[in-house]
Amino acid sequence: MSGAGFHVHGPHDHELEHAAQHEPKGLAGQLAVITAVLATVGALFAYQGGATQANAGLYKNNAAIKKTEAANKWAYFQAKSSKQNLAELALDLGPADQKAKYQDKIARYEKEKNEIKGEAEALEQEAKDWDHKSDEQLHLHHRWAQATTALQVSIALAAIALLTKKRWMEGATLVAGGLGVLLGALAWFHV
């Protein structure tokens, strides 16, 4: 550049000005915007994938707790059954004046067993419900992971498109990104 009022450009200056004026509207600018959008959506999908994975583990843990509680109730049921069996044996073998006492015990144990059985079955059902919820969350986790992976592939294709300057690669970027968004929508709607 000279101070006499006219301007002399070097070859490098001209390329920089041209890139600054035209490139953001071209392939690089488009890919930059596409990549930013894909990365943002991918981050949201990754968060959802992590959340559903954590939920699946938590729900599976709740199922295990309920299964343990049910097993404890069944053990208690067995103890009452053993006591009832002993009372029935005492009723058969014991003296006649004690039969009413043993009959009452048998009736009490039968009633207690029925209550315990109902509680144990309810706990088993709760465990199954937690297992089902865990399975649903794990399925959603896989959907979110698939969506995130498709978006990551799309971002990689955008980088390749930028390096090769191939417009058809930009199309491949959009197709892979669309697939990722579709998989994310399926996860969102629990499909």
With a cut of 70, list the residues of the chain below it in pLDDT. Answer: 1-25
Does 12 fall in a domain? no
Q: Given this model, what pLDDT does residue 110 score?
A: 97
Does 68 fall in a domain? yes
Does 17 fall in a domain? no
Q: Given this model, what pLDDT does residue 89 score?
A: 96
Q: Given this model, what pLDDT does residue 26 score?
A: 79
| 3-state SS assignment for residue 189 | coil
Does 88 fall in a domain? yes
Angle between helices 27-93 and 167-188 (to 10 degrees): 30
Report CA torsion sign: 169, 170, 173, 175. negative
d(CA 46, CA 183): 12
What's the total number of domains in the chain?
A: 1
Does 52 fall in a domain? yes
Does 33 fall in a domain? yes
Q: Count Cβ atoms within 10 A of the Cβ of residue 90 and give its class: 0-12 exposed, 13-18 middle, 19 or more buried.
A: middle
- Whether 190 contacts 55, CB under 8 Å: no
- Model pLDDT for residues 121-170, shown as the tens digit of each residue: 999 999 999 999 999 999 999 999 999 999 999 999 999 999 998 889 99
Does 9 fall in a domain? no
Residue span of the structural domain in which 60 resides: 29-188
d(CA 74, CA 68): 10
Does 13 fall in a domain? no
